[in-house]
A and B are shown apart, each in its own frame.
Chain A
């Protein structure tokens, strides 16, 4: 056990975890809207829109995140049309490529979580809203969305943790996140165990916090 290495690399890894958290929060934020959008398409009784939303979530859940990042980072740069358009200013940055891939990926999972939450809302709640004379929009925003959010909290908590682990793939497109820096230190010092212990503990610390925040929210909004 090389304690000097542990002490020396700890601040580096801690600093790198800022990138990890930034990637996580930005992609979760965008992914939540994507997920909500596609979940709504799924619960509307429109067959074509439903099929499109299903196709989206099936494709992104059925392929590895690594492929998705590589298609966006390496693949899209090859298309002339994208390189000449305004999109190129975004897609040439590995950071934004990673964020787009993560957001689309978590969006697919989130849409499934929200869809099942919407579908398990008891019809009585919606009927109660209707009998009180609330318009459909009000029912949707004031009854369906809050209940669906509460219902999907446990599953969404898992998704956040999965996404935290998913951000490690950003290191494959040259971003120096927690895993990227950990790999760099491992490959220069050849001391994988020490680095794994520190980087692993930082990740576990984040999972621990996410887990408890979700637990707290679940308790707060239980009914």
Chain B
């Protein structure tokens, strides 16, 4: 137990910091995912075949390829791409890009693909009458989206977004391969230096369980709050 103490003797405080790091990466990834989803959802719903193709390409590939492979692509590919750009400007030293950014970006692309599907489903399940009513009332496209579609879409997608959040939270454990010190990486370091992997990986599992449990509680509250009128 003293291995988990706070301060210099134990790993308690390091693990707390790592948990905050996991949360930070998850939130960042989720937000990046939303940006991707807001770009690709309209493409997916558009009547243009070419736009459909692009959006389907994105969601199919990302959802069909292992997360780890995507992370390797950005981890190894990211710095070489930047180094290539830098070499054009005459800078030839090794550039290491931030592990947090690489991680948040690669997990964000993955969660974006899932969010796209969630938003698509939510918009498609909005009653057609709503679109017609907004046309009758003379709303333009932008106003219709912000005032009518978006609020309903968000409410309808909360349950499925909570699944995406859970997936994203668990996927962040894979970023540990890039060296970002989140829960998994910290446990790996602690397990290596104390030779007690069972303890630290069990603690890691408990920390993840706490995170998923708490986020479920918060999301359930949100769901009740936004379903009040229905």
Which residues from 46 to 87 on chain A have a C-beta closer than 8 Å to any C-beta of chain B?
58-59, 62-68, 70-71, 74-79
In the complex the two chains form, what is the Cα distance from A203 to B166 in whole Å? 23
A169-B64 contact in complex given A64-B208, A66-B176, C-beta closer than 8 Å: no
In the complex the two chains form, what is the Cα distance from A179 to B65 in whole Å? 10
Chain B interface secondary structure, helix, strand, loop or mixed?
A: helix
Task: Write the B160-187 contact mask toward A (1 if CB under 8 angstroms, else 0).
Answer: 0000001000110110110000001001
Which residues from 28 to 87 on chain B have a C-beta closer than 8 Å to any C-beta of chain A?
60-61, 63-69, 72-73, 76-77, 80
Q: When the two chains form their complex, are residues A200 and B65 in contact, meaning their CB atoms are under 8 A apart?
A: yes
Q: When the two chains form their complex, are residues B64 and A75 in contact, meaning their CB atoms are under 8 A apart?
A: no
Q: Which of A74, A79, A165 contacts B65 (CB 8 A)?
A: A165
Contact partners of B12 in chain A: CB under 8 A = none
Q: When the two chains form their complex, are residues B198 and A192 in contact, meaning their CB atoms are under 8 A apart?
A: no
Looking at the complex, which of B131-139, B149-157, B199-207 is the stretch in contact with chain A?
B199-207
Q: Is A196 an interface residue (CB 8 A)?
A: yes
* Least distance between A217 CB and chain B CB atoms (Å): 19
Looking at the complex, which of A114-122, A140-148, A182-190 is the stretch in contact with chain B?
A182-190
Contact partners of A167 in chain B: CB under 8 A = 66
Number of B positions contacting A (CB below 8 A)? 37
Q: When the two chains form their complex, are residues A79 and B177 in contact, meaning their CB atoms are under 8 A apart?
A: no
Q: Is A171 an interface residue (CB 8 A)?
A: yes
Number of A-B pairs, beta carbon distance below 8 Å: 114
* Least distance between A149 CB and chain B CB atoms (Å): 24
Q: When the two chains form their complex, are residues A64 and B184 in contact, meaning their CB atoms are under 8 A apart?
A: yes
In the complex the two chains form, what is the Cα distance from A190 to B171 in whole Å? 24
Q: When the two chains form their complex, are residues B173 and A75 in contact, meaning their CB atoms are under 8 A apart?
A: no
Which residues from 186 to 215 on chain A have a C-beta closer than 8 Å to any C-beta of chain B?
186-187, 190, 192-193, 196, 199-200, 203-204, 207-208
* Least distance between A65 CB and chain B CB atoms (Å): 7
Q: Is A161 an interface residue (CB 8 A)?
A: yes
Q: Is A172 an interface residue (CB 8 A)?
A: yes
A168-B201 contact in complex given A74-B191, A200-B61, A204-B60, C-beta closer than 8 Å: no
Interface residues of B (CB under 8 A from A): 60-61, 63-69, 72-73, 76-77, 80, 166, 170-171, 173-174, 176-177, 184, 187-188, 191, 195-198, 201-202, 204-205, 208-209, 212-213
17 contacts between A and B (CB under 8 A): A59-B205, A62-B208, A66-B173, A67-B184, A67-B208, A70-B188, A74-B201, A77-B197, A164-B66, A168-B68, A171-B68, A182-B72, A186-B72, A196-B72, A203-B69, A204-B60, A208-B64
